[in-house]
Amino acid sequence: MTDSVERHAQAELSLKELSFSVNGTRRTVRVHPMERLLDTLRQQLGLTGAKEGCGEGECGSCSVLMDGALVNSCLVPILQAKDADIVTIEGLVADEKLNDIQEAFLQYGGAQCGICTPGMILAASHLLRKKPEPTMEDIREGLSGNLCRCTGYMQIFEAVAEAARRRASGAL
Ligand code: FES
Ligand code: FES
């Protein structure tokens, strides 16, 4: 066997079949167990909403929800996602309509280049589930793991506050 054929055979042997739920649908993939969840979502499952920014757990643009917790998918080996319940930004859209947080981002100019936006919206969604009526400080803290180079943050914080107000008033 040539070296390259042998390497290919070894790589094949190291692949594992793993199943987990993504946006409510059970998915099974054949992957290297240390592949990043971000890559599996984007490359194998075609869910390109999670973005790669830093690739080092610093910027939050790759955020997804895993069993209800906000995680940086660039730091999660796919093995850890086995049997987990993953929600990506695509899972927040119902009937092809924007959800209330997305609407508020649109209204307040919270999305500019868009790289940080999916992660910001997932972080906001996670925050509002834990704290339906957050203070501005809660919002700053809840989104502190997500960096934005474009907006200066205020439009984002105001969009999240607006989504919370609308939920509280039953407007959405
Ligand atoms: S790409 Fe994952 S935290 Fe920046
Ligand atoms: S909108 Fe560009 S990084 Fe936030």
Arithmetic mean of pLDDT over the chain: 93
- Find out whether the beta carbon of 72 lies less than 6 Å from any atom of ligand 1: yes
**Half-sphere CA count of 109, side-chain side, radius 13 A:** 6
Q: Give the rounded percent of residues in the chain with a pLDDT score beyond 90.
A: 85
Residue 2 scores a pLDDT above 80: no
Ligand nearest to the CA of 111: 2
Q: Tell me which amino acid residue 116 is.
A: C
Q: Give the rounded percent of residues in the chain with a pLDDT score beyond 70.
A: 97
- Residue 21 is predicted with a pLDDT of 98
**pTM of the predicted model, to two decimals?**
0.90
Q: Which residues of 93-120 are buried (b: 16+ CB within 10 A; e: fewer)?
A: eeeeeebbbbbbbeebebbeeebbbbbb
**Half-sphere CA count of 144, side-chain side, radius 13 A:** 7
Ligand nearest to the CA of 37: 1
Residue 10 scores a pLDDT above 80: no
- Find out whether the beta carbon of 11 lies less than 6 Å from any atom of ligand 2: no
Model confidence pLDDT, tens digit, residues 28-52: 999 999 999 999 999 999 999 999 9
Please compute the mean of the pLDDT values over residues 9-29 and round it to a whole number: 90
Model confidence pLDDT, tens digit, residues 85-134: 999 999 998 777 888 999 999 999 999 999 999 999 999 999 999 999 99
Interval between CA 74 and ligand 2 midpoint (Å): 18
- Find out whether the beta carbon of 146 lies less than 6 Å from any atom of ligand 1: no
In degrees, rounded to 5, the angle at the alpha carbon of residue 156 between the alpha carbons of residues 111 and 124 is 100
